[in-house]
């Protein structure tokens, strides 16, 4: 008889951990600028920020043991216009640039998360392994930061933009041109882009310093050997590439998808840089293996542990990403006020601009399949900025077909999984039987008929 819930046995613990609280299981510090269910597997999970877009409704309670600040922020940046009808249509505003902010705004959401984490680390749980999860906002736009970070990078030293739209060849996805026109990004001179970029770099350095404060505390408390730290983010930023700013729901450009991922501590080899093809979904089985948790639901990830421990330099042959929507989903898409009014409005005005898309990358090629537009093919070594779309060039048809076939294989491998929890083939049904319901309807009909008859007799008298 099949088990009620299937789970693979945990793999042998890859790290030699001997901690007072978790014994042979490591603690985890997850530092995510801009999940995994470990709570049900014996971990104490602390999410030290009430970031509402991290978990779906009711999932917070299932996923974490603690939720919220220990130290509250004194300043929370606004991502929208706050209900005002006034719109700043200057190039600076449409590039989400605000520049230098007051020093009293430095005690913001991210600072509160870091201060909360520093305090929390002084008295973590003593009876089980723990996870300290810090979902941050920086360097999300608006682009603004206080001193010394604002002036830290010389504007004339910023790397120039290479991917100018007028230099591109081959088909370009339509959203790029439409956004450039609606946002008016052609108004941005090289000096404007350098200003935005230098401010963005300052925001990242602030984030680096905050991460360093956490690492210093872990060192001071002698937790490094028992704690695995992960640093990653959910997306990149155009920052002038292709004449674009921010991101886009169906944007699959290298500048948006090539994200930082740093994993260290717990006895892992130090100073090792891995260039293998990886995906963020690989963090799921990685954390399971590190924490001694058996696989208990289907997913597309592959554990990074062999890479992290130096047992191999090869991981995956292809890396996939996807985004966008069906045109039939238009009524469900976001509505947003200024400064996201153009972005949200375009998705309803022409939903094909955010049409479903899948990208696949290997060491040589990037291929993007779009449901409502022509495909894209870029050579990663010869064209790292993705300026020359070769998909329609007959010379490169074999490469395009090969990559398209890999998307088909990936969709087959990742769709229609069997559930790992057994369903009862003959579940109990909590409904009244047809006989009971028929008898109720007959009684109601009889009562109605008697009532009508009594009413007629009353009128006669």
In a domain, 430, yes or no: no
| Same domain flag for 252 and 388 | no
Query: How confident is the model at residue 458, as a pLDDT?
Result: 55
348 and 363 belong to one structural domain:
no
CA 166, CA 15: separation in Å to the nearest integer?
Answer: 52
Whole-angstrom Cα distance, residue 12 to residue 292?
A: 7
Pair (366, 349) in one structural domain: no
Residue 191 lies in a domain: yes
Q: Is residue 203 part of a domain?
A: yes
Same domain, 74 and 160: yes
Nearest to 366 by CA among 358, 111, 300: 358
Q: Is residue 1 part of a domain?
A: no
Query: In the structure encoding, which two tokens stand for residue 421, read together?
Result: 């929890």
Nearest C-alpha neighbor of 190 from the set 156, 228, 233, 225: 156
424 in any annotated domain: no
**Residue 274 and residue 194 share a domain:** yes
Please give the pLDDT value at position 57: 86
Q: What is the CATH number of the domain that holds 411?
A: 3.30.1120.10
- CA distances for 112 relative to 105, 145, 208, angstroms: 12, 16, 15
Q: Return the residue matching tokens 């930082």.
A: 260
Q: Give the C-alpha separation, 38 to 131, whole Å.
A: 8
Q: Which residues of the chain have pLDDT under 50?
A: 1-2, 35, 460-461
Residue whose C-alpha is closest to residue 301's, from 319, 283, 282, 320:
282
Cα separation, 341 vs 229, in Å, equals 37
What's the per-residue H, E or C state across the chain?
Answer: CCCCECCCCCCCCCCCCCECCCECCCEEEEEECCCCCCHHHCCEEEECCCCCCCCCCCHHHHHCCEECCCCCCCCCCCCCCCCCCCCCCCHHHHCCEEEECCHHHCCCHHHHHHHHHHHHHHCCCCCCCEEEEEECCCCCCCEEECCCCCCCCCHHHCCCCCCCHHHCECCCCHHHHHHHHHHCHHHCCHHHHHHHHHHHHHHHHHHHHHHHHHHHHHHHCCCHHHEEEEEECCCCCCCCHHHCCCCCCCCCCHHHHCCCEEEEECCCCCCCCCCCECCHHHHHHHHHHHCCCCCCCCCCCCCCHHHHCCCCCCCECCEEEEECECHHHHHHCCCCCCCCHHHHHHHHHCHHHHECEEEEECCCEEEEEECCCCCEEEECCCCCCCCECCCCCHHHHHHHHHHHHHHHHHHHHCCCCCCCECCCCCCCCCCCCHHHHHHHHHHHHHHHHHHHHHHHHHHHC
CATH number at residue 61: 3.40.720.10
- Bridge partner list, 157: none
Does a structural domain hold residue 175? yes
Check whether residue 374 and residue 298 sit in a common domain.
no
Residue 193 shares a structural domain with residue 114? yes
Alpha-carbon distances, residue 287 vs 25, 62, 131, 223, 345 (angstroms): 11, 18, 11, 18, 39
Q: Tell whether pTM > 0.95.
A: no
Q: Is residue 255 located within the same domain as residue 363?
A: no
Is residue 218 domain-shared with residue 242, that is, in the same domain? yes
For position 58, what pLDDT does the model report? 87
- 155: exposed, middle or buried (Cβ count in 10 Å: 0-12, 13-18, 19+): middle
* pLDDT tens string 127-139: 999 999 999 999 9
The verdict on 162 and 220 lying in the same domain is: yes
Do 78 and 224 reside in the same domain of the chain? yes
pLDDT value of residue 222 = 96
For residue 333, give its domain range: 327-353
The model's pLDDT over 61-82, given as tens digits with 9 standing for 90+, comes to 989 999 999 999 998 766 565 5
From residue 188, alpha-carbon distances to 72, 165, 252 in Å are 37, 13, 23
- Would residue 249 count as lying in a domain? yes
Tell me the backbone φ, ψ of residue 159, rounded to 5 degrees: -60, 135
What pLDDT does 33 receive? 59
Kindly report the number of other CB atoms within 10 A of residue 76's CB atom.
Answer: 12
268 inside domain: yes
Give how many domains the chain has, as a whole number. Answer: 3
Is the same domain home to 225 and 334?
no
């Amino acid at each position: 008889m099949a088990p009620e819930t299937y789970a693979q046995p945990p793999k042998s613990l890859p790290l030699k951990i001997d901690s007072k609280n978790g014994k042979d299981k490591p603690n985890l510090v997850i530092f995510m600028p801009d999940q995994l269910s470990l709570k049900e597997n014996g971990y104490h999970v602390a999410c030290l920020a009430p970031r509402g877009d991290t978990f779906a409704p009711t999932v917070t309670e299932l996923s974490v043991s603690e939720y919220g600040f220990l130290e509250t922020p004194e300043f929370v940046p606004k991502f929208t216009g706050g209900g005002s009808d006034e719109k700043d249509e200057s190039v600076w505003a449409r590039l989400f640039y605000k520049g230098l902010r007051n020093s009293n705004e430095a005690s913001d959401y991210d600072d509160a998360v870091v201060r909360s984490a520093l305090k929390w680390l002084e008295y973590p749980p003593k009876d089980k392994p723990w996870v300290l999860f810090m979902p941050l906002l920086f360097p999300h736009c608006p682009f603004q930061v206080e001193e010394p970070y604002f002036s830290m990078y010389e504007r004339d030293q910023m790397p120039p933009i290479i991917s100018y739209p007028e230099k591109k060849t081959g088909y370009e996805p339509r959203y790029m041109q439409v956004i450039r026109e609606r946002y008016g990004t052609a108004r941005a001179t090289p000096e404007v882009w350098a200003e935005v970029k230098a401010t963005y770099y300052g925001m990242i350095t602030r984030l680096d310093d905050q991460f360093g404060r956490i690492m210093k505390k872990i060192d001071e408390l002698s937790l490094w050997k028992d704690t695995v730290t992960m640093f990653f983010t959910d997306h990149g930023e155009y920052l002038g590439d292709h004449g674009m700013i921010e991101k886009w729901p169906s944007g699959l450009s290298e500048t948006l998808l090539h994200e930082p991922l740093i994993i260290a501590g717990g006895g892992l080899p130090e100073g090792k840089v891995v260039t293998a093809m990886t995906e963020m979904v690989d963090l799921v089985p990685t954390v399971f293996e590190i924490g001694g948790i058996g696989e208990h639901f289907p997913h597309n990830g592959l554990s990074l542990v062999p890479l992290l421990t130096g047992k191999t330099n090869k991981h995956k042959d292809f890396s996939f990403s996807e985004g966008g929507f069906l045109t039939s989903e238009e009524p469900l898409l976001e509505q947003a006020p200024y400064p996201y009014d153009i972005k949200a409005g375009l998705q309803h005005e022409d939903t094909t601009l955010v049409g479903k898309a899948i990208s696949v990358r290997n060491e040589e090629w990037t291929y993007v399949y779009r449901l409502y537009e022509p495909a894209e093919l870029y050579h990663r070594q010869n064209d790292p900025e993705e300026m020359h779309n070769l998909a329609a060039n007959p010379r490169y048809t074999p490469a395009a077909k090969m990559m398209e076939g890999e998307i088909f294989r990936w969709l087959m491998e990742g769709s229609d999984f069997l559930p790992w929890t057994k369903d009862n083939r003959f579940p109990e049904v909590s409904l009244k039987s047809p006989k009971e319901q028929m008898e109720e309807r007959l009684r109601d009909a009889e009562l109605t008929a008697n009532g009508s008859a009594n009413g007629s007799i009353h009128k006669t008298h």
